[in-house]
Amino acid sequence: MDKGPKNRWLVLAVLASSLLVVALDATILNVALPTLAADLEPSSTELLWIVDAYGLVLAGLLVAMAGFGDRIGRRRSSSSGSRSSLPPRCSPRSRRAPSSSSPPASCSAPAAP
């Protein structure tokens, strides 16, 4: 079975969605910049650092995570990244809170309307 073309479109969709998140973050920062400038009253150089720090941190993390992916494999590093951004699973063990007998709010069923 040839999965080449189908798999290529899936890879393209994943890469495009990750680029969308990065572009959205940069847009949010630029939209919030006037409010930040009004509250913090930075100089023009400090404003430039606010915008450029995001790209600088992103580039540093990209290099570090690429090395991490090379060491443990792209699938394991990708799945660990996905798992770290999701809420914890609500197993029976995680439902027991040490300080109270009620389960955490994230594990409760939604309230009926």
Kindly state the DSSP code that residue 64 receives in the 8-state scheme.
H
3-state secondary structure of 58: helix
pTM above 0.85, yes or no: no
pLDDT 10s digits, 58-113 = 888 888 888 888 898 878 877 776 677 666 665 455 444 555 555 555 555 555 55
Residue 5 pLDDT greater than 80, yes or no: no
Distances (CA, A) of 71 to 18, 64, 83: 22, 11, 18
- pLDDT for the residue 49: 92
Average confidence (pLDDT) over 7-36: 87
Give the number of other Cβ atoms within 10 Å of residue 73's Cβ: 11
The pLDDT score that the predictor gives to residue 91 is 47
